[in-house]
Amino acid sequence: MSCSHKADIIFGDPIKAAIDESKTVLLRYPQNLSMVSDSTVMMINSGQRLSEYNFYSGINTRNFSLGNFNFDSLITVTYRKKYEGVKTFDYGNGYELNGSNYQLVNYFHAKNANYVMVSLLAAVDNLQDSSALVKLREDEKKFGIDRQDAHITIMDYVNFIFETDADLKIRTIYPLYAEARIRKDNYFAYFHKNFFVQNNAVYVPVAKTGNVKLAEKIDADKGNYSMVRIGLQENSVNYLLPYAAVDFTDYRLQDYFGTDYHFLSADNRLLVCTGKEIIENGTSEKIFSNKELAPTEWIYDCCKKEDLLIMMTYTMEHKKSIVMNGASLPVDSILKEEMKIFDPAAQKFLCSKQLPADVTGPALSGKRLVYITKDDTHYYLNSMTYEN
């Protein structure tokens, strides 16, 4: 959509700093970049370490890693204790996630705390869990497997939320028992699409489980829900944002997995950005409608600046599908990335500007954006102010 008047977005000259690798060697492109203060960012390195950096100097200021953590003891006092006589959890026999026995899936930064979602892979034997056995057998029958074993051992994820202080020191660990209830309800919680923590509860996107192909439209049954609230102490489950309030018209399954949720807390309200819309959680009021975007345009990041919404968007080009292992997979590419400023009161864009070619996947605040670049020898943090 075009801007409603001649206001322009002006980018300042970028500041570039080589990322300090004296403590943490970057083996691959960092993930989940976000701004956590006026001078620092956080990101996940290789799924193993959450690191904080000063983006002016590139210095690595803090790290969170679980390389020496005793996960077997943790599982013993949590999952094994809770499911004793019903399930067994075999952890530590070479089961790996991306070359390690744990993975940092995502994190949420709060004012004086951080919450890190940690995923482990374990062999789970469902012994006397009859409902789990029935569900497993039903799922296997979809693939032509029909067996009546007394119990079934599967590889499954055992997940926790680690709460840390501002210095990334562990305060509390919350086992996510509630995921069993969510799966029983035929939903799956997608922490990789971001999550939000408030009042000792975590808000996370969910989607109905099914056999929809990547290129197909997702199941937009109005009775389904798009988010869940999990109580971290009691593991309560409350489904939120029904599909009746969220417009999934433009979504293929590939688009759903390719976009993140973003959470904006302001004026005692929780605003949820689904990648196409911005909706108030409590009332389902649409603060921003997908009608303001092109059908193949998506919100990459967003924030509030006074009464305005600042957005980073990208526009996709849907190309022809390729066939891989007998399946037809769509191949998309990004045509352009833009910064846009939207006035919710007037329900219109005030201005927009295409990002410079080297700005990809930026983290956004009300004053600047930060992004990562790489050459043959270093990764770099680049920061750039903007104004309108």
Name the domain boundary from 129, 158, 175. 175
Considering only CA atoms, which of 231, 304, 237 is closest in space to residue 269? 304
pLDDT in tens, 365-376: 989 999 999 998
Residues of the chain above pLDDT 90, percent: 55
- pLDDT for res 78: 96
Could you give the 3-state DSSP secondary structure of residue 322? strand
User: Residue 250: is its pLDDT beyond 70?
Assistant: yes
Mean pLDDT (whole number) for 104-128? 89
User: Residue 215: is its pLDDT beyond 70?
Assistant: no
Give the CA distances from residue 189 to residues 46, 114, 203, in Å, rounded to whole numbers and listed in that order.
Answer: 22, 20, 10
Do 240 and 322 lie in one domain? The reply is no
Domains identified in the chain, total number:
3
* Domain presence at residue 45: no
Name the domain boundary from 292, 307, 339. 292
Compute the distance between CA of residue 386 and CA of residue 388 in angstroms, rounded to an integer. 7
Average pLDDT, the chain: 85
pLDDT band at 199 (very low <50, low <70, confident <90, very high): very high
pLDDT band at 173 (very low <50, low <70, confident <90, very high): very high
pTM of the model as a whole: 0.87
Do 135 and 71 lie in one domain? The reply is yes
Alpha helix segments (H runs only) across 30-177 = 71-75, 81-82, 130-141
* Domain presence at residue 230: yes
Contact 203, 270 (CB under 8 A): yes
pLDDT in tens, 216-240: 566 666 778 999 999 999 999 999 9
Q: Which residue has the tokens 């660990």?
A: 173
User: Residue 342: is its pLDDT beyond 50?
Assistant: yes
- pLDDT for res 293: 93
Do 184 and 261 lie in one domain? The reply is yes
What is the residue range of 263's domain?
Answer: 177-292
The per-residue b/e assignment along 215-242, b for 16 or more CB within 10 angstroms, e otherwise, is eeebeeeeebbbbbbbebeebebeebbe
Do 303 and 283 lie in one domain? The reply is no
Do 269 and 374 lie in one domain? The reply is no
- pLDDT for res 319: 67
Name the domain boundary from 141, 175, 209. 175
pLDDT band at 2 (very low <50, low <70, confident <90, very high): very low
